[in-house]
Amino acid sequence: MEQTWRWFGPDDAVQLPHIRQTGATGIVTALHHIPYGVVWSVEEIEKRKAEIAADSSLGLRWSVVESLPIHENIKIGEGDLSPLFDNYRQSLRNLAQCGVTTVCYNFMPVVDWTRTELAYPLPGGGTALRFNMHEYAAFDCFMLQRPGAEDEQSPEVLARAKEWYGRSSEADRNKLLANIMAGLPGAYDRYDIPGLRAILARYEGINASSLRENLACFLREVIPTAEEVGIRMCIHPDDPPRSLMGLPRIVSNADDLAFILGAVDSPANGITLCSGSLGAGPSNDVPAIAKRFADRIWFAHLRNVAKDPDGSFMEADHLGGDTDMVAVVSALLEEQKRRKDSGDPRWRIPMRPDHGHELLDDVGKPTHPGYPAIGRLKGLAELRGVMTAVSSLKGLPL
């Protein structure tokens, strides 16, 4: 597998030479400064490529776009969408022209990955990302005051949510809102409570099947262009894979993935296997999903979560947690062999260590939540060990 690393651009506290030291060779990045819906010009793409290649001794290249975001109007299916589809297609053409041909995106309404706690203490002083069900419920029921939210919670979670809310200070509540918003990667579209209520109102009447239809419409609009220019699109699963704030989520399990891949049956219509996002779903068998959809996995995010019975979960060590990472890696290496044997020149699957604990000297550094250097370096090193061992024991190309 191609070992890659997410880099948020020149302002990222983890810099390109650091990335080289981790052993990664591929860069995963996006033009975060360009607003959603606006074309990524060849000039801007080339500029980012040149930044990555500036020091040729590092041997880094831009392997994967994460993400080319989808404008909220497309998800809602509202207004004149044709300029947005045109722009998305143009961005794909421009990326292909610049040789960046793997494009990750998601279809999560309003928010991206969502946690309630960004610095859950670990023994010895590190920290981890966590989703606490009662804090999420306190947010949804008592801060957002979303009608019907209380009915979605178990009495036990609701009681703890009430208790949390009752003793929370204004600072605690502001922090919870900021934590929930932290997963949005660009410089745009962070919401406060009134802003959230307004965007949620725009989703009124959208259920899972209409959201699915809006995704299928997007795929019909862009996949033919992606196929024509040699781009492999790979949708990222919902994180966590369940409805939040009453919004439908439709990239959460094997049935959803089967629907998406069937909506436009093209090799350009693929998936990002995110073992952590899918792994937070109690009924998701991640190695089975990896095997079932192997031939359309164009990108892999490898990390692990440990789930609690109430719906809470935390980010575990990359080889710890609930998902059998050796089985996931084996499925991906088997697929690589199949691709290589069939003559696919792009047979190697880009993978990156996703999220990482904040450890050692990283504690307190201004890194992006979930993206410190040392925790991800540890994850990558462990995953590299698994990849090397499985490849060697099973005779599979690395």
Instruction: Give the residue carrying structure tokens 């030291």.
Output: 21
Active site residue 354: yes
Using the rule CB under 6 A, is 67 a contact of ligand DNO?
Answer: yes
372 binds ligand DNO (CB under 6 A): no
Which of 1, 104, 206, 377 binds ligand DNO (CB under 6 A)? It is 104
Q: How far apart are CA 200 and CA 220, in angstroms?
A: 26
Calpha distance 154→140 (Å, rounded): 14
Q: Of 66 and 358, which CB lies nearer to ligand DNO in the complex structure? A: 66
Q: Are 199 and 110 a contacting pair, CB within 8 Å?
A: yes
Assigned token pair, 67: 């993400």
Alpha-carbon distance 37 to 83, whole Å? 9
Residue 106 found at the interface with ligand DNO (CB under 6 A)? yes
Q: Which residues have CB under 8 Å from 395's CB, separation 6+?
A: none
The verdict on 113 binding ligand DNO (CB under 6 A) reads: yes
Helix, coil or strand: residue 260: helix
For ligand DNO, the closer of residues 275 and 391 by Cβ is 275
Q: Is 274 a catalytic residue?
A: yes
CB of 354 to ligand DNO, least distance (A): 6
301 is catalytic: yes
Amino acid in position 105: Y
**Of these residues, 105, 120, 141, 301, which one is catalytic?**
301
Q: Is 236 in the site for ligand DNO (CB under 6 A)?
A: yes
Tell me whether residue 370 or residue 372 sits nearer to ligand DNO (CB atom): 370
What six digits make up the tokens of 53? Answer: 């290649």
Q: Which is nearer to ligand DNO, 136 or 165 (CB)?
A: 136
**Does 55 participate in catalysis according to the annotation?**
no
Do 280 and 315 meet the contact criterion of CB atoms below 8 Å apart? Answer: no
Least separation in angstroms between residue 168's CB and ligand DNO is 26
Q: Which is nearer to ligand DNO, 157 or 223 (CB)?
A: 223
Q: Is 120 a residue of the active site?
A: no
Q: Give min distance, CB of 19 to ligand DNO, in A.
A: 16
Residues 271, 130 contacting (CB under 8 angstroms):
no
Spatial distance between the Cα atoms of 81 and 73, rounded to a whole number of angstroms: 7
Q: Is 236 a catalytic residue?
A: yes
Q: Where do we find the tokens 């704030």?
A: 245
Name the segment binding ligand DNO (CB under 6 A); options: 54-62, 104-112, 314-322, 374-382: 104-112
294 to 313, contacts with ligand DNO by CB under 6 A?
A: 301
- Is residue 133 within 8 A of residue 157, CB to CB? The reply is yes
DSSP 5-45: EE---TT-SS-HHHHHHHT--EEEE--TTSPTTS---HHHH
Closer Cβ to ligand DNO, 158 or 300, answer by number: 300
Instruction: Compute the least distance from the CB of residue 372 to ligand DNO, in Å.
Output: 12
Rg of the chain on CA atoms, in Å: 20
66 belongs to the binding site for ligand DNO (CB under 6 A): yes
Q: Applying CB under 6 A, which residues contact ligand DNO?
A: 66-67, 104-106, 112-113, 183, 185, 236, 274, 301, 354-355, 370
Which residues have a catalytic role annotated?
236, 274, 301, 354-355, 371
